[in-house]
Structure 1
Amino acid sequence: VVTRRDGVTYYECAIPMKAIPQIRPEPGREFCFSVLVHDPGGTGLRDWGEAAGLWPWQRSRLAWCAWQGATWPDDPPFDNKVEWGFCSSKH
């Protein structure tokens, strides 16, 4: 769901826990989550970690699957082991 209020765009998504059975949601349990957006219209790859101001040494080229035709810039996107941004809950 995408909404815009007071000049801010909000993106919401629901990920069914059935899709990630290796993770058991419990109150207070945290797990790592990242977002990667590819905009072929000119802005290229954009990642959530970069927007948060994390350092290039925290990046891992092995974190993202390499789909056919994918190319990364000199600094690859941040990996999915950045411990911030998402908390699971069964509520």
Structure 2
Amino acid sequence: MSIIPAAHLSAEQSQQAVAMLEEGRCLWYWDKQSKEENRARTNQARDLMQAAYELMGRPKLIEILNVFHGQRLEMIAQREGS
């Protein structure tokens, strides 16, 4: 995560962005027991990662994130029988 270049950020902002990305990634990949918990974690992960990408000025990564977020929600619904 620390290799993401963002020259316009201060060291503190860069650390904040990396921390949000790391936490978001953890939330993204670890499943819980219920569909509701998985949706909530996926949404929380997306919010954290989107905030980091906004801070870094990465609109294309936000677009990609939103595509994957939609796919992840569909996968949760299909796996658990919406």
Question: Of the two, which has the highest radius of gyration?
Answer: 1
Q: Which has the higher contact order (CA 8 A, sep 6+)?
A: 1
So what's the TM-score if we normalise by structure 1?
0.27
Structure ranking higher in strand proportion: 1
Structure ranking higher in helix proportion: 2
